[in-house]
């Protein structure tokens, strides 16, 4: 039995974080491909096609699948007989691996972790600390599960304690129906049942790293109560009709993974954590023979998809000529190709703009008749204009929408997922429009960006306002100038009844 070196642990974690930033797991590629093949809604099918094409591009170019390269989730199982030369705490070792993984020059990953959740929320700059959990287990090796969890899906995590006679499937289905599309479906549901509050959530997170085998389970049928529950939830969630990106469709969830643990007789704790279309994780074992090695998935796993066919059906929209007549002609679900000037701006930029408006100060950017993109891109490398630049969840900007539209004359917003009632009311009031890009297709979207320069709030880092020049950037109309939303009409059209529930 060899000595497991601290340097090998650090190198393995760093390499794992790089690896999962641009390689989807092979089982995810296969499962998503199957879902794309059977999807009946053209809009949802096109969204899944973009996700698969983006995945293949990232694998070939070794660039991030999503601009939200996530918080580093590291679960370590330490064998009680393992021999190590560790001189630092496991948290420090894993943080160093995270730091090196996220700051690699050839493929820098976006640092999203803030060190003070209550106050200034200053970015750590290197995505540390990682989210570490540890188990002591039998054996003489160290097993490590490394995952990168984005904020959009993590923010949809839910927990409840049911009565012992409660129905887990009912609660999960009812909860997923309230999540909207901010978790970027189709994805995977991780469910933890039992233990206590923290144990149930830990089980749910661990379940997300289990192999996807729903197609096999559907073929052979369930062999125990857990598998019966998985099948019931899978069928009922997909029957909701939410579909890819919330556009409506036959597939909302690709798989349902459940882990359980004994619990108090008076309790039935249930944790629910969804994984998005940028599912990223890998497992490795250290036994003293050196650092871990990772084998890329075969490019043969990907289907042949031509996105040009969908583009031929799209309407081109000039962002430098957003007049009322053009905007009024847009319809929910319509595919557009954007060209022209597009500004970026997320939570921090919106808050700062509103603060300036409150003080009567002029904004550093004239947004009248313009479009803004809710995005925080990855840093560019080599000859790139910009790094992967997919949309962020738009509901976070809802509370700013009426003020920004009314006081600046902004006409178009681009993001991902649905808008809430307050934002939809503001969009209709100001005769604006809301468009969506595909979450989980960040590298593909970035190829439509031909120029980028910071124009305001550079101190905010990835949340600064940039002026972009885009050509044929693919989007869909989500909310038109009358306040009609595809995220309401789409799922309603594709919803179906099930034997277990509506």
DSSP per residue, 112-180: --BS-TTTT--B-SS-PSPEEEEEEESSSSEEEEEEEE-HHHHTT-EEEEE-TT--HHHHHHHHHHHST
Nearest to 200 by CA among 136, 147, 267: 267
Extract the tokens encoding 457. 């709030």
What distance in Å separates the CA atoms of residue 247 and residue 136, rounded to the nearest whole number?
44
Our CA angle for 484, 485, 486, nearest 5°, is 130
Of 61, 23, 39, whose CA–CA distance to 444 is shortest? 61
Beta carbons of 186 and 245 less than 8 angstroms apart: no
Query: In which residue ranges of the chain is pLDDT below 50?
Result: 309-310, 502
Range 6-42 burial, b when 16+ CB lie within 10 A, else e:
bebbbbbbbbbbbbbbbbbbebbbbbbbebbeebebe
Q: How far is CA 187 from the centre of its chain?
A: 9
pLDDT at residue 309, rounded to an integer: 45
Q: How far is CA 462 from the centre of its chain?
A: 17
Q: Estimate to the nearest angstrom the gap between the alpha carbon of 449 and the chain centroid.
A: 21
DSSP-derived letter for residue 210 is S
Looking at the DSSP bridge assignments, the partners of residue 476 are 335, 436
d(CA 81, CA 69): 34
| Domain definitions of the chain by residue range | 1-149+297-308, 150-276, 313-488
Question: 10 Å Cβ neighbour count for 301?
Answer: 18
Residue 30: DSSP 8-state: H
Domain range 313-488, CATH class: alpha beta
Q: Where are the alpha helices (DSSP H) in 39-127?
A: 42-61, 90-102
Closest C-alpha among 221, 259, 251 to residue 234: 251
C-alpha to C-alpha distance for 73 and 67, rounded to whole angstroms:
17
C-alpha 38, offset from chain centre: 23
Cα 156 from Cα 189, distance rounded (Å): 11
Task: Give the catalytic positions in this structure.
Answer: 350
Q: What is the pLDDT of residue 310?
A: 47
CA 179, 184, 185, 191 dihedral sign is negative
| Closest alpha carbon to 107 in 10, 8, 15 | 15
Rounded to whole angstroms, the Cα distance separating 316 from 319 reads 10
Name the one residue in this structure whose structure tokens are 């190829």: 447
Q: How many CB atoms lie within 10 A of CB 114?
A: 12
Contact 402, 146 (CB under 8 A): no
342 is written with which tokens? 């597009």
* Confidence (pLDDT) at 307: 67
Give me the long-range contacts of 220-224 (CB less than 8 A, separation at least 24): none
Structure pTM?
A: 0.93
State the pLDDT at residue 314: 85
> Alpha helices of 363-439 — where are they, by DSSP H?
398-408, 421-429
The pLDDT score that the predictor gives to residue 499 is 53
Please work out, in degrees rounded to the nearest 5, the angle formed at the alpha carbon of residue 416 by the alpha carbons of 394 and 128: 75
- Cα–Cα distance between 271 and 450 in angstroms, integer? 43
């Amino acid at each position: 039995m060899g000595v497991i070196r601290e340097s090998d642990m650090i190198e393995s974690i760093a390499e794992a974080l790089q690896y999962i930033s641009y390689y989807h797991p092979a089982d995810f590629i296969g499962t998503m491909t199957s879902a794309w093949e059977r999807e009946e809604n053209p809009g949802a099918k096109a969204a899944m096609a973009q996700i698969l094409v983006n995945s293949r591009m990232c694998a070939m170019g070794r660039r991030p699948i999503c601009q939200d390269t996530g918080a580093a989730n590291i679960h370590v199982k330490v064998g009680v007989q393992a021999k190590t030369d560790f001189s630092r705490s496991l948290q420090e070792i894993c943080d160093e691996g995270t730091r090196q993984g996220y700051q690699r020059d050839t493929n820098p990953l976006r640092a999203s972790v803030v060190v003070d959740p209550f106050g200034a929320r200053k970015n750590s700059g290197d995505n540390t600390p990682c989210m570490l959990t540890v188990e002591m287990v039998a054996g003489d090796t160290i097993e490590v599960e490394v995952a990168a969890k984005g904020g959009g899906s993590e923010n949809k995590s839910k927990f409840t304690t049911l009565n012992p006679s409660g129905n887990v499937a009912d609660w999960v289905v009812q909860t997923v129906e309230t999540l909207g599309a901010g978790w970027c479906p189709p994805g995977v549901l991780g469910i933890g049942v039992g233990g206590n509050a923290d144990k149930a959530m830990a089980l749910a997170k661990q379940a997300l790293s289990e192999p996807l085998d729903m197609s096999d389970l559907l073929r052979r049928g369930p062999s125990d109560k857990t598998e019966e529950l998985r099948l019931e939830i899978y069928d009922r969630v997909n029957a909701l009709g939410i579909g890819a990106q919330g556009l409506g469709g036959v597939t909302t969830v690709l798989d349902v993974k459940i882990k359980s643990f004994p619990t108090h007789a008076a309790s039935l704790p249930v944790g629910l954590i969804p994984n998005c279309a940028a599912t990223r994780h890998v497992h490795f074992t250290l036994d003293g023979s050196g650092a871990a090695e990772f084998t890329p998935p075969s490019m043969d796993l990907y289907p042949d998809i031509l996105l040009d066919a969908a583009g031929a059906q799209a309407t081109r929209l000039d962002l430098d000529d957003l007049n009322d007549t053009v905007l009024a002609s847009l319809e929910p679900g319509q595919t557009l190709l954007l060209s022209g000037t597009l500004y970026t701006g997320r939570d921090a930029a919106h808050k700062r703009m509103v603060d300036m408006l409150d003080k009567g100060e002029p904004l550093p950017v004239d947004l009248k008749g313009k479009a803004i993109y809710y995005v925080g891109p990855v840093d560019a490398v080599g000859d790139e204009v910009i790094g992967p630049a997919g949309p962020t969840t738009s509901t976070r900007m809802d509370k700013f929408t009426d003020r920004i539209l009314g006081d600046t004359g902004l006409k178009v917003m681009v993001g991902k997922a649905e808008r809430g009632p307050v934002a939809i009311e503001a969009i209709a009031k100001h005769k604006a429009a809301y468009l969506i890009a595909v979450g989980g297709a960040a590298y593909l979207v970035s190829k439509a960006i031909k120029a980028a320069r910071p124009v305001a709030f550079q101190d905010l880092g990835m949340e600064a306002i940039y002026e972009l020049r885009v050509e044929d950037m693919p989007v869909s109309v989500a909310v038109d100038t009358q306040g009609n939303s595809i995220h309401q009409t789409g799922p309603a059209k594709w919803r179906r009844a099930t034997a277990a529930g509506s």
